[in-house]
């Protein structure tokens, strides 16, 4: 069942973040009106969609596509939604291009927004600078104030680098003190356009620093219960409690389910599993393309794509390897498929930096905390 369509209207971005995985961020080419309309029309009439679907506008900086692009997109949704599908609209932005006009548009069409911000300026501006090396934090926060002033549902995404792990108190105080209601932590990953990470393991040092960071964040979060939602604690606490009540439970993340997520690039190329596969090069897996939205009669036709079958077979083998080897498999479900490919060079591999930290170490912290309670 298709739950999320990640739309990449442009790979272009006005920032040059050190850890960004999106290739071709100086290419200002925009998704054509034809690709846009085909993507929306074929999604909304697909039998893969049952009842509801989310369009997540993502990639470089999606606001660089311009407001008229999204006016056309909303018109296309209204025109083609003959089945009365519940359509959710989400946008992931760096916030620097947000204006009052953008806020009025997003509010009118019920968008929820993910804002990329890494904490206080001293931390954020180390990684998130423009192409001239200029800082971005002040503009991001100006965008944040505009979005919240218009009552637009908003959550923060904070990328953790090695430097970030040294400042749990400052990072937590930033999000709490500025009135954020939710934050999700992503770890700096080796993926697609980003070929290195400051979190690559060094004799156990990084794992220890990550554990101490999350341990401290958890204590701060508990002390301010209800004021700031931390995605990792909420999600993983639910999974752990579910596992305690049902020993047979195994998590099955959406990114491991074929066609649970699809990504449509600006040229119409379709991929599935992790959005980080979009634009990746792989002779073995046909650059992860499973078709083009302009070429398929129906979106459902990609189910018969030979390349999809090869990718699914490899992903399933990797998941089984995780199940065979990892004590934390039931809490993870073999996620981080893209990390396996980009970091280890194989979809059938197992452990990655992201799973070591964001699943194994995080689970250990939470299990200990919940056991004490």
What is the per-residue pLDDT for 363? Answer: 93
Stretches in the chain below the pLDDT threshold 70 = 202-203
DSSP-assigned letters across all residues of 218-241: HHHHHHTTTT-EEHHHHHHHHHHH
What is the per-residue pLDDT for 34? Answer: 98
Q: pLDDT by residue (tens digit) across 179-228?
A: 999 999 999 998 888 888 999 876 679 999 999 999 999 999 999 987 99
**Gap between the Cα atoms of 198 and 164, Å rounded:** 10
What is the per-residue pLDDT for 371? Answer: 84
Q: How many CB atoms lie within 10 A of CB 86?
A: 10
In which residue are the tokens 């929306």 written? 40
Burial of residue 100 (CB within 10 Å: 0-12, 13-18, 19+) is: exposed
CB 278 within 8 A of CB 255: no
Structure-token pair, residue 169: 């108190």
What is the per-residue pLDDT for 196? Answer: 87
Helices and strands (DSSP H and E) totals, the chain: 13, 9
Q: How many CB atoms lie within 10 A of CB 220?
A: 16
What is the per-residue pLDDT for 202? Answer: 65
In which residue are the tokens 């040059």 written? 16
What is the per-residue pLDDT for 69? Answer: 98
Specify the 3-state DSSP secondary structure of 260.
Answer: coil
HEC per residue, 82-135: CCCCEEEEEEEECCCCCCHHHHHHHHHCCCEEEEECCCCHHHHHHHCEECCCCE
Query: Which own/partner pairs from 277-286 qualify as long-range (CB within 8 Å, at least 24 positions apart)?
Result: 277/192, 277/338, 277/341, 278/6, 278/8, 278/59, 279/11, 279/22, 279/23, 279/24, 279/192, 279/193, 280/192, 280/341, 280/342, 282/341, 284/310, 285/310, 285/311, 285/314, 285/347, 286/310
Q: Which strands sit side by side in the sheet containing 261-264, from one edge to the other?
A: 229-230, 182-187, 154-160, 112-116, 86-93, 52-57, 4-7, 261-264, 270-272
Q: Angle of helix 137-149 relative to helix 100-108, nearest 10 degrees?
A: 40
What is the per-residue pLDDT for 203? Answer: 66
Burial of residue 204 (CB within 10 Å: 0-12, 13-18, 19+) is: exposed
Q: What is the pTM of this model?
A: 0.95
| CA geometry: angle 116, 10, 305, nearest 5 deg | 105
């Amino acid at each position: 069942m298709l739950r999320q369509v990640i739309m990449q209207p442009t790979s272009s971005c006005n920032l040059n973040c050190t850890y960004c995985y999106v290739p071709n961020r100086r290419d200002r080419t925009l998704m054509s009106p034809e690709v846009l309309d085909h993507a929306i029309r074929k999604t909304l009439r697909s039998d893969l969609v049952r009842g509801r679907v989310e369009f997540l506008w993502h990639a470089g900086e999606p606001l660089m596509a311009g407001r008229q692009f999204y006016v056309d997109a909303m018109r296309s949704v209204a025109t083609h939604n003959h089945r009365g599908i519940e359509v959710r609209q989400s946008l992931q932005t760096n916030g620097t291009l947000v204006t009052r006009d953008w806020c009025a548009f997003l509010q009118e069409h019920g968008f929820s927004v993910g804002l990329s911000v890494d904490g206080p300026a001293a931390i954020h501006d180390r990684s998130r600078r423009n192409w001239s090396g200029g800082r971005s934090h002040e503009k991001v926060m100006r965008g944040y104030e505009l979005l919240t002033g218009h009552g637009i549902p908003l959550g923060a995404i904070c990328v953790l680098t090695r430097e970030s792990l040294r400042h749990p108190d400052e990072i937590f105080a930033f999000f709490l003190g500025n009135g954020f209601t939710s934050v999700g932590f992503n770890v700096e990953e080796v993926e697609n356009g980003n070929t290195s990470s400051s979190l690559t393991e060094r004799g156990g040092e990084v794992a220890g620093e990550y554990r101490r960071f999350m341990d401290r964040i958890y204590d701060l979060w508990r002390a301010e219960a209800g004021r700031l939602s931390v995605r990792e604690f909420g999600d993983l606490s639910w999974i752990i409690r579910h596992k305690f009540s049902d020993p047979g439970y195994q998590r099955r993340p959406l990114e491991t389910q074929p066609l649970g997520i699809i990504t449509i690039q600006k040229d119409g190329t379709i991929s599935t599993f992790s959005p980080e596969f979009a634009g990746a090069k792989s002779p073995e897996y046909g650059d992860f393309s499973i078709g083009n939205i302009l070429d398929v009669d129906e979106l459902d036709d990609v189910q018969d794509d030979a390349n999809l079958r090869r990718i699914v077979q490899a992903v399933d083998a990797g998941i089984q390897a995780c199940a065979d080897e990892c004590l934390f498999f039931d809490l993870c479900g073999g996620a981080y498929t893209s990390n396996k490919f980009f970091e280890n060079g194989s979809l059938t591999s197992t452990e990655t930096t992201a799973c070591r930290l964001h699943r194994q170490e995080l689970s250990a912290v939470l299990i200990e905390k919940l056991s004490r309670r």
